[in-house]
């Protein structure tokens, strides 16, 4: 990131220094250059620009090349515009959540803090490829379209700051996986046909599982990626689309346990296959916050694909780890996924079954 200053140096300052070094008066310089003393004075004080014609004359007088004078002038005008722009942008700094600003610093998108508000807002907009704050707000409205997504935000009451969410979404767009996905040819029939293979791979969680599942999904035109989230981010995952053509399942990897990650993946696959193309859906970390029709349908889809027609019935009354593992193996599902659902449904106390969770941290990050 190019370093910038919070001040602008007019080319007239260089001319003023040269005049002092030569022990000349502004009147004498005006005579030698062929202009009025007033023009020289205004150039020295930054009130008048160094034009191409003036730069040619100053080169003959001072020996400083024309292109240097014009470069000084261009840099000065650019700095003046930038400083004025950042002063205006600084009024929006309060709209950037602290978590969003910290996240951008963590991923190297800015070094600015609220002590340099204009620079922070400028870097935030540059990260989102927006020229103005108004353009960013339009981007957010576009990203939030879809009645289900907006309903989830309203009905849940979750405090999901828009600047935090869009920063996480944009971070995904900068990954190789997302960029490759732009050329995918999504086929819903092939995705449905791949569900048994995805389910089978999810039944044996290990360090390569997420990468393997991403490859399986890529083969049918679905982008699957895990992107490190901002701190205190309330989502497990999200379903989005590239140009309403290619589905993207983006996860945070929160808690990093196979039960959470696998369930979220199949839940989001339900959105991909069952919901109108192009809608965005949010998977909240708090189960009570999933209360829209689309979320319930996605949960039902995940339950059916992972556990079959019997659902969670085979696990009723089970508390011992060995019994849970034996039943999960018989059904072809990972014990950690079964425990996750047993906890959700209050079939098992949260203090039990946790040894079945497999830690997937570091297994696959876009």
CATH of the domain at 29: 1.10.260.40
Identify whether residues 202 and 281 lie together within a single domain: yes
> Could you give the number of structural domains in the chain?
3
- 98 shares its domain with 83: no
Please check the confidence at residue 118 and state whether its pLDDT lies above 70.
yes
155 is a domain residue:
no
Is position 318 within any domain? yes
**pLDDT of amino acid 285:** 57
Distances, alpha carbon 84 to alpha carbons 3, 8, 12, 127, in Å: 17, 11, 20, 20
Q: Does 253 reside within a domain?
A: yes
Q: Are residues 82 and 95 in the same domain?
A: no
- Binned at pLDDT 50, 70 and 90, residue 150 comes out as very low
Q: Is the pLDDT of residue 152 over 60?
A: no
Please check whether residue 244 is in contact with residue 260, taking contact to mean a CB–CB distance below 8 angstroms: no
Place of tokens 């470069």: 71
- Cβ-contact 80, 4 below 8 angstroms: no
pLDDT reported for residue 244: 87
Across the range 13-18, mean pLDDT stands at: 95
Is there a domain that residue 171 lies in? yes
Average pLDDT over residues 89-103: 96
Query: Are residues 130 and 204 both part of a single domain?
Result: no
CA–CA separation, 223 vs 217, rounded Å? 7
Q: Which one of 67, 89, 111 terminates a domain?
A: 89
Q: 342 vs 159, which has greater pLDDT?
A: 342
- What gap in Å lies between CA 79 and CA 288, rounded to an integer? 51
- Weakest mean pLDDT among 5-14, 99-108, 152-161, 301-310: 152-161
Tell me the per-residue pLDDT of 211-239, one tens digit each, with 9 for 90 and over. 999 999 999 999 999 999 998 888 888 88
Beta strands at 223-226 and 281-284: parallel, antiparallel or unpaired: unpaired
Note whether 251 and 347 are same-domain residues.
yes
Query: What is the C-alpha to C-alpha distance for residues 325 and 323, in angstroms, rounded to an integer?
Result: 5
For residue 149, being part of any structural domain is answered with no
Mean pLDDT across the chain: 89
Which residue range is the domain that position 69 belongs to? 11-89
Q: What angle do CA 82, 85, 91 make, to 5 degrees?
A: 140
Domain ends where: 73, 108, 143? Answer: 143
Which range (81-85, 125-129, 288-292, 311-315) has the least confidence? 288-292
Which tokens in the block code for residue 193? Answer: 């046909």
Taking only the tens place, the pLDDT of each residue in 185-218 is: 999 999 999 999 999 999 999 989 999 999 999 9
| 2 part of a folded domain | no
pLDDT band at 157 (very low <50, low <70, confident <90, very high): low
Tell me if 294 is assigned to some domain: yes
One domain for residues 271 and 334: yes
What pairing do the DSSP bridges indicate for beta strands 281-284 and 235-242? antiparallel
Tell me which residue of 210, 56, 240 sits closest to 145, measured CA to CA: 240
Residue 185 CB coordination number (10 Å): 9
In this predicted structure, what is the pLDDT of residue 190?
Answer: 96
Q: Which helix (H) or strand (E) holds 39?
A: helix 37-44
Residues 124 and 272 in one domain: no
Q: How far is CA 316 from the centre of its chain?
A: 41
Last residue of a domain, one of 89, 116, 131: 89
321: pLDDT strictly greater than 60: yes
How many angstroms separate the CA atoms of 285 and 151, rounded?
16
How many percent of the chain have pLDDT more than 70?
A: 88
Tell me what pLDDT residue 8 has. Answer: 87
Residue 156 in domain: no
Identify the residue whose tokens are 């995918």: 184
**Residues near 319 by Cβ (< 8 Å), separated by ≥ 6?**
348, 349, 352
Q: What is the dihedral of CA 304, 307, 311, 313, to 10 degrees?
A: 180
Token pair of 266 as six digits: 């199949």
Clarify whether residues 112 and 199 are in a common domain: no
Cα 91 from Cα 98, distance rounded (Å): 15
Q: Are residues 53 and 126 in the same domain?
A: no
Do 352 and 234 lie in a common domain? yes
In angstroms, rounded to a whole number, what is the distance separating the alpha carbons of residues 294 and 301? 10
How many CB atoms sit inside 10 A of residue 252's CB? 23
pLDDT at 146 over 50: no
DSSP helix/strand/coil, 235 = strand
Residues 188 and 316 in one domain: yes
- Collapsing DSSP states into helix, strand and coil, what is residue 148? helix
pLDDT of residue 113: 95
Q: Supply 95's token pair.
A: 């709209």
Residue whose entry in the numeric block shows the structure tokens 């079954």: 353
Give how far the C-alpha of residue 88 lies from the chain's centroid of Cα atoms, to the nearest Å. Answer: 24
Residues 77 and 221 in one domain: no
């Amino acid at each position: 990131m190019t370093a910038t200053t919070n001040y602008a140096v007019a080319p007239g300052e260089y001319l003023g220094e040269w005049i002092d070094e030569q022990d000349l008066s502004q009147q004498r310089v005006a005579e030698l250059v062929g202009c009025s003393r007033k023009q020289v004075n205004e150039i020295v004080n930054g009130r008048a620009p160094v034009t191409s014609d003036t730069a040619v004359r100053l080169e003959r007088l001072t020996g400083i090349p024309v292109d240097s004078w014009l470069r000084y002038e261009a840099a000065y005008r650019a700095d003046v515009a930038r400083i004025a722009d950042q002063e205006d942008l600084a009024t929006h700094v309060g709209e950037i959540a602290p978590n969003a600003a910290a996240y951008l610093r963590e991923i190297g998108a800015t070094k600015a803090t609220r002590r340099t508000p204009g620079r922070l807002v400028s870097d935030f907009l540059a990260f989102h490829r927006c020229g103005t704050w108004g353009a960013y707000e339009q981007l957010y409205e576009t990203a939030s379209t879809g009645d289900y997504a907006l309903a989830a935000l309203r009905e849940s009451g979750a405090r999901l700051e828009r600047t935090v969410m869009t920063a996480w979404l944009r971070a995904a767009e900068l990954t190789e996986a997302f960029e490759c996905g732009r050329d995918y040819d999504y086929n819903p029939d092939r995705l449905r046909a791949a569900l048994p293979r995805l389910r089978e791979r999810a039944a044996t969680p290990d360090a390569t599982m997420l990468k393997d599942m991403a490859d399986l999904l890529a083969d049918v035109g679905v982008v699957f990626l895990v992107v490190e989230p901002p701190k205190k981010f309330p989502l497990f995952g999200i379903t989005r689309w590239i140009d309403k053509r290619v589905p993207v399942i983006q996860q945070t990897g929160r808690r990093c346990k196979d039960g959470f990650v696998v369930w979220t993946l199949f839940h989001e696959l339900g959105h991909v296959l069952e919901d109108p193309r192009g809608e965005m859906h949010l998977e909240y970390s708090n189960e009570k916050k999933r209360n829209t029709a689309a979320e319930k349908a996605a949960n039902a889809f995940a339950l059916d694909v992972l556990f079959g027609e019997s659902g969670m019935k085979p696990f009723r009354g089970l508390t011992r780890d060995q019994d849970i593992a034996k039943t999960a193996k018989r059904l072809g599902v990972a014990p950690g996924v079964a425990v996750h659902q047993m906890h959700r449904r209050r079939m098992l106390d949260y203090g039990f079954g946790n040894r079945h969770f497999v830690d997937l941290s570091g297994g696959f990050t876009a």
